[in-house]
Chain A
Amino acid sequence: MTKSEFVYVTYIRTTPEKLWDALTNSEFMKQYWFGMSCESEWTAGSPWRLQFPDGHVADAGEIAESDPPKHLAIRWRNEWKPELKAEGYSLCVFEIEPEDGAVKLTVTHSMDRAASKSVEAFSGGWPKVLSNLKSLLETGQVVVSRTVDCRGEAA
């Protein structure tokens, strides 16, 4: 296999519109993404940045595809670890599908190279972010609320 890829799925009892808003609203995002926030216009071709709470840029890229509230694709590159940045861009795709009063969120993060360190690094963070997101949308509370410092460790 010449591709590194992982797929995460979570079912959230919410609406596609609310989930889209949660994924694209910078202030809301801070609550479930350990203080990280995104800046983007969220339209195809617009720049995208993920920042640590202290303002350092963690990852950056651009919106590849945007079809609210169903489909979002981001060209995504790590900006703060030289060895990861050197691997170039990965593609992160969010798919939102309504399913009987709940919403299925599928996150696919991939890169066209075998054993990508970037994809491995990204894959560690997604489950925590997704389970916090689910909890926040369903109950109004996150499970773990600590923020991260610019090395990505708990501050």
Chain B
Amino acid sequence: MIARRDYREFENHGPRARDAPFFGLTCNYLVAYYPDVFADEDKVFKALADSNRRFLLDRLREKGGLTLGDLCEGRDMSRQAVTKHLVLLEAANLVVTRKQGREKLHFLNPVPIQEIYMRWIGKFEQNRLQALHNLKQALQEDADDQV
């Protein structure tokens, strides 16, 4: 899941993946940092690029804490196929498991999807919210003027 490398040297000055090209490739840490960020991301997109795996994520979105047996119901997939899909989803950190007695419970972990959302959409949402906020302030100032 996480690249086998010590990242401490990147603290405080580690660039975001999307900023990396602007730093130029002369800095050694970029050479190390760059591929690993994308390796994690690749796993998420590959895991999502399959309707059966998205079906499993939807099942877990509806209800967390399902067992392998629960997840085998509702679609014509063998236990082996479901297991294989779950391994990929876990490797992408989209599914996390907890042991409860002898059972292994599966949960949807939306944090990697949230990161994708924040990266491409969060910024626009922030602008929209700022615009609404400015509009509200302007309207309130107008209203105050009229009083």
Contact = CB atoms under 8 A, between A and B. Distances in A.
Interface of A: 1, 3, 5-11, 13-15, 18, 99-102, 104, 106, 108, 126-128, 130-132, 134-135, 137-141, 143-146, 154-155
Nearest to B10: A13
A75 to B, nearest CB: 20
Interface string B103-147: 000010111011100110011011001100100000000000000
**B40, B98, B109, B129, most chain A CB atoms within 10 A:** B109
Contacts of B114: 127-128, 130-131
B109 A101 contact: no
A139 B14 contact: yes
A14 B6 CA distance: 9
A154 B129 contact: yes
Interface of B: 1-8, 10-16, 40, 64-65, 93, 96, 98, 107, 109-111, 113-115, 118-119, 122-123, 125-126, 129-130, 133
Given A139-B16, A143-B118, A131 B111 contact: yes
Contact of B129 (A127, A130, A138, A146): A146
A7 B118 CA distance: 20
Contacts of B4: 100-101
B14 A9 contact: no
Nearest to A154: B129
Nearest to B93: A9
A11 B93 CA distance: 9
Contacts of B15: 139
A56 B133 CA distance: 21
A130 B111 contact: yes
